[in-house]
Amino acid sequence: MELGTLRARFSRRYGQLRNLVMGGHTDPKVTERTGSPLLAPFAGELTEMRGWAYGNRWIGCGAVRDGDGEQLVVLVAERDAPPSDEPPEDVVHVAAPRRVTHPDDRRTWVRRVIDLTGWEPLGLTPDWAAVEAELGVPLPADYKELAAAFGGGVFSDSVSFLGCGASVPFDLPARWRAGLPYASLSAGGPYEEFTPGGKGVLTWGSTEWADEYCWLIDAERPGDYPVLARSHDPGPWYRYDMSTSEFLHRVLADADFRPFGIARYDLGATFVPGSDGRPI
């Protein structure tokens, strides 16, 4: 198997990659937090290394010098992940700070995410009719506004957001489609992955420490999309009766939004568009 093929497969599974070593040159800014444990075993012999943060593990693939050629390497290294604040229940229903009911409210939260990151909206025009026909349900209106503005990519260097028509690692329909053969096995707990005509979870975001952000979709109740989220340690789902954009904004900006708010880690409010393996 070639490195490019393996890199693409890992990106589909683990999300945004980090370019740690390219052409024999190590990123001088790499730290323990951003992937240096993947470099430690090789004593400068690496020619390429890409890394993915996933829960309490680093996943890496690359190449090392081997005589006159190179040898493919794959490795897993330990990683410090934020502690989980979860109680032991299977499902936790969390009351929203403010129930959003008016369409203008949703647009306000989209605008807040844009303003928070200083992002210039891209104005993308995905083929929503085709996407929604494949899913068999309409997608939340504010999610479509977010996807049109941002595409797919990473907020605050840690929160992956799936767009539509973006690069493969950040394309919601492609990620959902790839998981369909394993739908009955992958979600765990009380919910299965969503399949057309059924009820289940559809993932629209995740973090580098393996938190998951999803919708609970019931094909018999189109338009009703509570957010379900769970942290990196296998445990309960949290249900939030709020819009996608409000949840995302609170994750990024509200330090008291536990257990999912990341503002308390002082990561900054940034957005980097997705990469299919090329430098970004």
Q: Which domain holds residue 30?
A: 3-78
Q: Identify the weakest region by mean pLDDT among 26-30, 129-133, 195-199, 261-265.
A: 26-30
pLDDT number for residue 9? 78
Cβ count within 10 A of residue 93: 12
Q: Identify the weakest region by mean pLDDT among 43-52, 96-105, 213-222.
A: 96-105
**H/E stretch holding 21:** strand 18-22
Same structural domain, 129 and 256: yes
* Residue that terminates a domain, selected from 50, 78, 106: 78
pLDDT number for residue 237? 85
Cα torsion for 225, 184, 231, 140, to the nearest 10°?
A: -20
Domain count, the chain: 2
Same structural domain, 130 and 266: yes
Same structural domain, 14 and 142: no
Here the tokens at position 86 are: 């979860």
| Closest to 209 measured CA to CA, from 39, 59, 21 | 59
Q: Provide mean pLDDT across the span 197-204.
A: 93
| Closest to 26 measured CA to CA, from 1, 55, 51 | 51
> What is this structure's pTM?
0.70
Q: Identify the weakest region by mean pLDDT among 112-126, 184-198, 218-232.
A: 184-198
Higher-confidence residue of 278 and 276: namely 276
At residue 207's C-alpha, the angle toward residues 60 and 120, to 5°, is 110
Higher-confidence residue of 167 and 2: namely 2
Res. 98 pLDDT band, cuts 50 70 90: low
Within-domain flag for 212: yes
Same structural domain, 56 and 181: no
* Residue that terminates a domain, selected from 31, 53, 78: 78
Res. 88 pLDDT band, cuts 50 70 90: very low
Within-domain flag for 83: no
CATH at 169: 3.40.1580
Same structural domain, 34 and 68: yes
Within-domain flag for 280: no
Share of the chain above pLDDT 70, in %: 82
pLDDT number for residue 53? 82
Query: What is the overall mean pLDDT for the chain?
Result: 83
Within-domain flag for 279: no
Same structural domain, 223 and 249: yes
Same structural domain, 117 and 47: no
Higher-confidence residue of 134 and 100: namely 134
pLDDT surpassing 60 at residue 278: no
Same structural domain, 105 and 225: yes
- Contact, 163 vs 152, CB < 8 A? yes
